[in-house]
Amino acid sequence: MSDKPLYERLGGHDAIVAVANDLLPRLQSDPQLGRFWQHRGTDGMAREKQLLIDFLCASSGGPLYYRGRDMLTTHRGMRISEGDWNAFLGHAAATLAKFDVPERERNDVVAFVQSLKDQIVE
């Protein structure tokens, strides 16, 4: 087993950017989830993407600092349902599969994402 942080085991910044570049369009084009991005300007979308990258890098042990709000504040009032959560998980799994993320790292990512559920789903 490697003592390296998940950030390094995933491939670092460039790998996390690639995941964000794949995952966000999946979520935005999903008929169920797309409503969360309606009426968002280009600048807001770019900022959100950068915050996601910073959050993922910082949370996985990387050198980036996340300057955004906590997950509870960020998602409060969005009315994210259990069904929305499950749709998100499906897209996240497809993205991880696309990049052939090894099982150990995939399990660590899923465990981390699941740890956020209570802060995101209303």
- C-alpha to C-alpha distance for 15 and 8, rounded to whole angstroms: 9
- C-alpha to C-alpha distance for 41 and 58, rounded to whole angstroms: 26
- Domain boundaries, given as residue ranges, for the chain: 10-120
Beta-carbon contacts of 103 under 8 Å, excluding residues fewer than 6 positions away, are none
Q: In this structure, which amino acid lies at residue 108?
A: D
Render pLDDT for 54-76 as a digit per residue (tens, 0 to 9).
999 999 999 999 999 999 999 99
CATH number for region 10-120: 1.10.490.10
| Cα dihedral 51, 110, 94, 92 sign | negative
Question: Considering the entire predicted model, what is its pTM?
Answer: 0.92
Render pLDDT for 79-112 as a digit per residue (tens, 0 to 9).
999 999 999 999 999 999 999 999 999 999 999 9
